[in-house]
Amino acid sequence: MSFLRGPCRATATTATTTAALHPQTAWSASCRLKTPSPALYQLRNASTQYSRPKTAIFFPGQGVQKVGMLTPWLEAFPSTATPILQEIDHIVGYKLSDVIREGPNSVLNLTVHAQPAIMATSIMILRILEKQFGFRASERADFTLGHSLGEFAALVAGGYLEFQDSLSMVQRRAEAMAAATKCAQEDFGGEYGMVAIVTEPEYLQPLISAIHDFTGYSSDGAKSESAEDKSPIDQVLIANINSKNQIVLSGNMERIKTLVAHVRQFLGHDPRAVRLKSDSPFHSPIMKPAVGVMQRILAGTSHVVGKEDQDIVSFPGTLPCVSNVSARPFESKADLKDLLARQCLETVRWWDSIKYLDQEQKVRRWIGIGPGKVGRNLVGKEVGMRGKDTVKGGGVWAITDPSEIEEVLRGLQETETLVEEE
C-alpha cells in the first residue's frame, strides 16, 4: 500500500527551495501534494489487507499536554484544523482552543482543561490524517487502545463513540475527578497526586506484591469494593502498570512517601520516584464519585444531531479496542460501559495490554497519534522497536507533529508486505 503519490516526488525540488524561504509554508504545500487519491487508496488497500503485519493505533493520556500543541497543525492544515477547533469549542462550551494555544501552563495543566485538550488534539490529528492523507483507522489498523484518558480517543477511532459524545464525556469526567479531589482536600486535608516508580525489571513483581500487601488492594474491583473502608488520606495504590520497569502510585502524597520508604526498607531496593504533572490522584478510590457520573452518562443516549434516540455506545465497533481495566478487547456493549466507568479508579494495565497485543495477537506495527511521545516510548520499551524494523516486520512510530507524518507513512508503506519469520 502506497501513501505517497508519484507527482509528489516530481515536485521535491520546488518544495525544497520553498522550504529554504519558509519551512512551514513548504510543509503545508508538501502535505497537500502527498494527499492520495481515494480510489487508488481503496484499491491498493483491498489487495494488501490480508497480508500486511497486524497494526495497532494508540493514544496518549494526561500529562502530555503542552501549550501551543495545536499551533503546528493549524499552520500546516488551516482549512482542516480550523473547523475542528470550532467544533471542539462548541462541544465544551468555551474557548478551549485559546487555553491550548495560549496557556498559561498553570491553566492548561488543570484536569478540567488538560483532559479534553489532549483528547481533542488526538482526534484532530486523526481527522487531518483522514482528510489530507486518506488514512482510515478501520482500514489501516487491527486494534485501537489508549493510555487512561487516551481510551476515549481509541473508542472514537474504533467506532464505538462519536467524537461529540466522547469529548463531552471526557469533560464531565474531568470535572468529576477534579471535584472528587477537592472534596478529599476539604474534608480530610492533605496533598494528593501521582508518583512514577522506576525500577529494574527483576524487581517489578516483588515491588507490586509489596505494595499490594501494604495497601490491601490486590485484585480487580478491590479498589471500588473497599473504598469506603479508608479515608481518602489513607488511600494510596497502584494507578498504572506502564512497562516492565515502571508503575505509578496515586493518592495522598505523604502516604506515598511512607509507602516508598517501606518498599526501600523491606525489599532492600531503592527505586527512583518521580512526581508526575497531575493535580489529582487518578485511578484511586478517591475517584469513585467519577465512576457514578460515568455510569449515568453511559446509560443515556447520544447528543449528536440525528442520533438523539440512539444509545451513546455503538457495538460492535469497526475495530477491537483494548480496555485499560481488563487488558483485553471489550466484549460487549455492557462490558464496555462497565469497564469504561470503572476505569476512573481501577489500575491502568498498559503493560499487560501491550504484551497481549505483541505476544498473543502478534501486532507488529504501532502508531501513536496525539501529543507527546510518552506512549511511543512505553510501547517501544516493551516490543523492542523504534521506527521501521525489518527483522520483526513492523515498527513503532508516533505522529505528534506534522513534520513526522511523512516518515510514519513511508514506514508503513515499506513494512506493508514484510512478514515476520517464525
Active site residues: 148, 283
CA distance 388 to 326: 29
Grid cell digits, residue 118: 489532549
Please tell me the distance from the alpha carbon of residue 117 to that of residue 98, in angstroms, as a whole number. Answer: 10
C-alpha distance across the termini of the chain, in Å: 24
Q: Give the integer Cα–Cα distance in Å for 153 and 159.
A: 10
Burial class (CB in 10 A: 0-12, 13-18, 19+), 352: middle
Beta-carbon contacts of 44 under 8 Å, excluding residues fewer than 6 positions away, are 1, 2
DSSP state of 311: B
And the C-alpha cell for 43? 484499491
For Cα atoms 234, 259, 64, give the angle at the middle one, nearest 5 degrees.
90
61's grid cell: 493520556
Residue with cell 483491498: 46
Give the residue carrying C-alpha cell 501529543.
Answer: 371
